[in-house]
Amino acid sequence: MRIVDRPVDVLRSFLRGYLLARVPGVWMLRVGFGIVLSIILMAILAPIISPYDPARRVDEPYLPPSWKHPMGTNRIGQDVYSRIVWGSRIILYVVFLATALSMSIGIPLGLISGYYGGRIDRVLSMVMDSMYAFPALILAIAIAAVLGPSPSNTAIAIAFVYIPTYFRMIRGQTLAIKNSLYVEAAHALGAPDKTVMAKYILPNLSHTILVVFTLSVADSILTEAGLSYLGLSVTVPTPDWGYDLRAGQPFLLDGMWWMVFFPGLMVMLLAMGFALIGEALSERVSLAQTR
């Protein structure tokens, strides 16, 4: 058995040993993957699969779904389906940028805090715990409001509020394994702290990181949609699910459901895709740990 897994190995074993394996609960993973991959594909193929320019008036406003406009048109006369397709780009961009940012700050800080302990750990933990206890959406609202509406700014706001999630998880796991035999063996061989952290501790956290990653992406998707619903993410006429939902809200109770229904459905599907993957993985990881 290898003691240290490389991330590549984790991914490979995960794909081979799980996605294709016949184990209970694998359907969750497959459905989740299916949803996420289709939406990513949708974003990539947006120019090909969208029939209209998402930012232009292309027909009469308020048209219900039809063959010509499968999801109807909105109050300006834009094609809702085309906006949904292009909108996937914004939310994916924001969420992945945000996740990359919070991981690249939260994970090293968590490693350092858990590994060295002492005063630096106490200070960092206290700051992170305070942030963690605070409503993420409200903090993100404040930051986004100051930065002004743009997808990159939204990503920064979201990144900020998910740093503690990664920090806490990495710190806890580092504490748990830093005294294990193979880490001590690495010390005994004279490996410097940086090497121990990067080569011996971090790779062993990859399963946990994968779980936290999927679950926090699911969460960030809802946060992004929330921020843009409140008008804090994009400016008109950029297509964006959360914003489009808000724009369609005033017409809902006149019976025009399509402007609200489709964007919101997409938000939920995307979040659900990641949540399903995360749920299936966490079950798998906790099973592996109890064995």
Partner 1 sequence: MARGLGYYIFVRALMIIPTILILYTIVFILLRLLPGDPILAVVGTRNIPPEQLENLRHMAGLDKPPYIQYFDYLWRLLHGDFGVTLAIPMGTPVKNYIFSRFPATLELTIFGFTISVILGLLTGTVAAVKRGSAVDTGMRLYSIIAYTLFIPWFGLLLQYFFGLVLGVLPTSGRLDPDISLKTITGLYVLDSILTGNIDALISSLAHLVLPSLTLGIVLSGAYTRLVRNNLVDILSMDFIRSYRARGIRDWKITIYALKNAFIPVITLMGLQFAILLGGAILTETTFSWPGMGTFIVDRIDYRDYNSIQGMIIFFAFFVSLISLVVDVIYALLDPRVKY
Q: Which residues bind partner 1 (CB under 8 A)?
A: 126-127, 129-139, 141-143, 145-148, 218, 222, 225-226, 229-232, 242, 245-246, 249, 252-253, 255, 257, 260-261, 263-265, 267-268, 271-272, 275-276, 279
| Distance of alpha carbon 248 from alpha carbon 225, whole angstroms | 14
Provide, rounded to whole angstroms, the least separation between the CB of residue 48 and partner 1.
27
CB nearer to partner 1: give 151 or 203.
151
Provide, rounded to whole angstroms, the least separation between the CB of residue 276 and partner 1.
6
What residues contact residue 259 under an 8 Å CB cut-off, 6+ apart? 72, 74, 75, 80, 244, 245, 247, 248, 251, 252
Closest CA to 240 of 213, 270, 211: 270
CB nearer to partner 1: give 233 or 238.
233
What residue type is assigned to position 156 of the chain?
Answer: I
How far from the centroid of its chain's Cα atoms is residue 215's Cα? 7
Per this entry, what is the length of the chain? 291
Closest CA to 275 of 211, 232, 191: 211
Cβ neighbours, 10 Å, residue 49 = 12
CB nearer to partner 1: give 174 or 223.
223
CB nearer to partner 1: give 11 or 120.
120
Q: What is the DSSP string of 242-286?
A: HHHHHHHGGGGGGT--HHHHHHHHHHHHHHHHHHHHHHHHHHHHH
CB nearer to partner 1: give 197 or 221.
221
What residues contact residue 129 under an 8 Å CB cut-off, 6+ apart? 164, 168
CB nearer to partner 1: give 92 or 131.
131
Provide, rounded to whole angstroms, the least separation between the CB of residue 157 and partner 1.
9
CB nearer to partner 1: give 8 or 253.
253
What residue type is assigned to position 97 of the chain?
Answer: L
| Distance of alpha carbon 127 from alpha carbon 132, whole angstroms | 9
Provide, rounded to whole angstroms, the least separation between the CB of residue 216 and partner 1.
13
CB nearer to partner 1: give 172 or 198.
172
Provide, rounded to whole angstroms, the least separation between the CB of residue 243 and partner 1.
11
Provide, rounded to whole angstroms, the least separation between the CB of residue 206 and partner 1.
23
Structure-token pair, residue 127: 């700051």
Provide, rounded to whole angstroms, the least separation between the CB of residue 195 and partner 1.
33
Straight-line distance from the first to the last Cα atom of the chain, in angstroms, rounded to the nearest whole number: 15
Provide, rounded to whole angstroms, the least separation between the CB of residue 84 and partner 1.
13
Task: Give the orientation angle of helix 206-229 with respect to helix 258-290, to 10 degrees.
Answer: 160
